[in-house]
Amino acid sequence: MKSIVATYLCALSFVSILPFCGGGIDRPSIKDLGLGEVTYQADDGVRIVASWAVPEGVATPPVVMLLHERDGTRAQWDEVGGEKVGLISILLDEGYAVLAPDLRGFGESNVVVRDGGEEPYELTNSADTVLDVKAAIAWLKEQGEVDASRIGLVGSRLGADLAYTSTAAFPEVQAAVAISPDAFNPDDLDPLFAIPDFCAHHVFFMAGSRPAWEAAATLGVRVDHVGGDRYEDRSDLDGVALLTIDQPIKDILTWFETRVLATPAPTKPTPRACTPGQ
């Protein structure tokens, strides 16, 4: 009976959930996609290296930017801990262009240009990663093939903190998914959270373990239009590893469908209209 019901639901499904019918999500490797590699420079001279892909047959698609974990790289969005993630290929199939940078200080984004010369770069202040998103948006605006006014962010851990903050910092960011973010602590004044008149919006929080979910909840109460879910309670399923199971992938696509994929993009709250926790 269960298989009959599943078949019936798949037959009625919208296009956006068809990849989930027939035994789970198909997760092609980025090795089969022939991703392009691009570089752009942040305001402070740090050179960012990123993977870039645009879906075939889609006119001016929206963009999803993927922001990895501390000590990780853009490769995490394809595979983590020997398990397939495949998020880039899934997003491309859904009609999104995808930009997956190595955040500053990680992977190949390890050079800063100063006084006309190149020097090694190390990340010492997490707040500087906001410059990575700013530079990425500026680069996207130069790409006439995409709609840089409709940007969604998916971030994990450090990238989750950055995605959450960026919804308030950049009007082009329509929505975000924050996986296993750090907890908000007003006493430590983390620069990623200490923004005047802060109004994060349209953020979906994901976590697996109870501590990770409780940390996410401390940010959720500060978000206008918030969503979220806690998934399997396993110590090995937090951060990007959560995306090795199907439901978080489905939730990303559902969250972005009306907030990023929709044309035109939905109206976002102004600071005066910001009502955290709604």
Backbone φ and ψ for 24, nearest 5 degrees, come out as 100, 175
* Inter-CA distances, 65 with 69, 81, 99, 223, Å: 13, 22, 5, 20
What is the rounded distance in angstroms from the CA atom of residue 15 to the CA atom of residue 161? 31
Quote the tokens at residue 117: 């010369």
Quote the tokens at residue 224: 């206008």
Q: Rg of the chain over CA atoms, in angstroms?
A: 18
> Angle at the Cα of 90 (from 87 to 95), degrees rounded to 5?
125
* Cβ atoms of 164 and 176 closer than 8 Å: yes
What is the rounded distance in angstroms from the CA atom of residue 26 to the CA atom of residue 100? 20
What is the rounded distance in angstroms from the CA atom of residue 142 to the CA atom of residue 51? 16
Question: How confident is the model at residue 21, as a pLDDT?
Answer: 42
Question: How confident is the model at residue 79, as a pLDDT?
Answer: 92
Q: Give, as one character, the DSSP assignment of residue 110.
A: -
The neighbour count for residue 198, using CB atoms within 10 Å, is 17
Q: Cis ω on the peptide bond leading into residue 101 (within 30° of 0)?
A: no
Residue ranges of E strands in the chain: 36-41, 46-53, 63-67, 79-80, 83-84, 97-101, 111-114, 117-120, 151-156, 173-179, 200-207, 223-230
Q: Which of 225, 267, 263, 240 is nearest to 96 (CA)?
A: 263
pLDDT, tens digit only, all 278 positions of the chain: 323 333 333 333 333 333 444 348 889 877 777 789 999 999 999 999 999 999 999 999 999 999 999 999 999 999 998 889 999 999 999 999 999 999 999 999 999 999 989 999 999 999 899 999 999 999 999 999 999 999 999 999 999 999 999 998 899 999 999 999 999 876 655 556 556 567 889 999 999 999 999 999 998 888 999 999 999 877 778 999 999 999 999 999 999 999 999 877 666 655 545 666 66
Quote the tokens at residue 206: 């994901």
Question: How confident is the model at residue 268, as a pLDDT?
Answer: 62
Q: Does the CA dihedral 80-85-86-90 come out positive or negative?
A: negative
Quote the tokens at residue 101: 């940078």
Question: How confident is the model at residue 1, as a pLDDT?
Answer: 32
